[in-house]
Amino acid sequence: MDAKQRFDLITLKDKLGQEIEHRLGPPALTLANSTELIYLCPLHSENTPSFHVYTLARDGHEPHYMCYGCGAHGDVIKFVQLFDRVDFIEACKRLGAETHNPDAAAAYKQRMAEQRAETRARREKNREQFLAAHVWETYYRQHNQSLEDLWIQHGIPPKYQDFWQLGYTPDKTYAYQDGFNHAPALTIPFWAFTNGRTGYVQHLQYRLLGDLPPGAGKYRFEDGMGTAAFVADYRQHPGDGEDLLIVEGGKKAMVMWLGLGQSMQVIGLPSMLDDGDSLPDLRQFKRRYVWLDPEAQVRPKQASAGWVPADVALSRALGQEGTRLIRETLKPDDWCLKWQPTPNQLRQVLSVSSIRCP
């Protein structure tokens, strides 16, 4: 092919739907918002339509046809070659080919790359949800009377153990330094908000039990699933309501939500979030209270010159207007279990003892 015959194939391939309709007429069936056309295959004899035409690029694939009867498949150029019985050059000319357009080619490649990235992200999300649901069901089935009593000691009565479907595993493998350790663990499923309907488990967290080696954190997420915020009342959208309490971790969020008589939403943030995706919803609350562990106030030895306590950093990220801090010598769940306040007393603590972000 000489330089004059370097056609703009990118533009041609978007003509699949109109060219096939021009040659075959109206489809026998139209699906997927008119982007999938189904015909009797023009390339072999059949009684049931099996010739599918995908007129839009999707999942990283350019517009194409596929016959599920004879197996024929390809783009618009190949279709014209077969249907009109012409070679590649003539097929391009019949499609009104123009000379090569580098800008169009670059834009097309970018579009395909973005669609492939979206497809990978969607598949990874589906994989995570499947993994979380499968592992969670296994652990929930292992729940028994002794574990029920253990959760009660942590401030979660049986009724709400069932509400959150808490579980247990006798042997959780977790990374530690350059190797792996094992420990029994309580399991906390993170339920996705589904507009009041029964949701699905999107993340799974472990609360390791027993004597742990120095520096080993008690809380771990399921491997390969990143981190997430725990929404205590997963029936309520995180952006609904006026009041919000933010604590660290799922177990504290459960204890505080029950301590408040379920009168306000409680969010348990992990010590580190993968990104700030959870923050926009939290900003929608009129009043936000941040009650982090006392350790959050301790300046690390290697802290930078611009270091501020974690609750101050979170308050600034949420917007200091409407955000107040609670600073106690006990962790919030330990404080509740020690003093056993009524819901009204606990709400009063939030209102009276909280301070503005310094």
Give the per-residue pLDDT at 196: 46
Give the per-residue pLDDT at 275: 42
Give the per-residue pLDDT at 9: 66
> Do 104 and 8 form a contact (C-beta atoms < 8 A)?
yes
Give the per-residue pLDDT at 258: 96
Confirm whether 112 is domain-assigned: no
Kindly report the pTM of this predicted structure.
Answer: 0.60
CATH number for 291: 3.40.1360.10
Q: Are residues 358 and 235 in the same domain?
A: yes
Confirm whether 277 is domain-assigned: yes
CATH number for 21: 3.90.580.10
Give the per-residue pLDDT at 3: 37
Q: Are residues 242 and 350 in the same domain?
A: yes
Give the per-residue pLDDT at 356: 81
Q: Are residues 197 and 271 in the same domain?
A: no
Q: Are residues 283 and 349 in the same domain?
A: yes
Return the DSSP state at 297: G
Residue 145: phi, psi to the nearest 5? -65, -45
Q: Are residues 173 and 235 in the same domain?
A: no
* End position of a domain, from candidates 47, 82, 100: 100
Q: What residues in the chain have per-residue pLDDT under 50? A: 1-5, 195-198, 273-277
Q: Are residues 355 and 323 in the same domain?
A: yes
Confirm whether 211 is domain-assigned: yes
d(CA 283, CA 278): 9
Q: Identify the domain containing residue 24 by its residue range.
A: 3-100
Confirm whether 331 is domain-assigned: yes
d(CA 247, CA 65): 53
Confirm whether 110 is domain-assigned: no
Q: Are residues 193 and 263 in the same domain?
A: no
Q: Are residues 207 and 251 in the same domain?
A: no
Structural domain tally of the chain? 3
CATH number for 213: 3.90.980.10
Give the per-residue pLDDT at 274: 42
Give the per-residue pLDDT at 171: 85
Q: Are residues 30 and 7 in the same domain?
A: yes
Q: Are residues 35 and 82 in the same domain?
A: yes
Q: Are strands 219-221 and 201-208 parallel, antiparallel or unpaired?
A: antiparallel
Residue 111: phi, psi to the nearest 5? -65, -45
Confirm whether 8 is domain-assigned: yes
Q: Are residues 222 and 235 in the same domain?
A: no
Tens digit of each residue's pLDDT (9 = 90 or more) over 253-292: 999 999 999 999 999 988 654 444 455 578 888 899 999 9
Q: Give Cβ neighbours of residue 286 (< 8 Å, ≥ 6 apart).
A: 242, 243, 322
Confirm whether 88 is domain-assigned: yes
Give the per-residue pLDDT at 329: 92
* End position of a domain, from candidates 207, 226, 245: 226
Q: Are residues 51 and 64 in the same domain?
A: yes
* End position of a domain, from candidates 226, 251, 283: 226
Give the per-residue pLDDT at 63: 86
Amino acid letter for position 119: T
Amino acid letter for position 89: I
Confirm whether 107 is domain-assigned: no
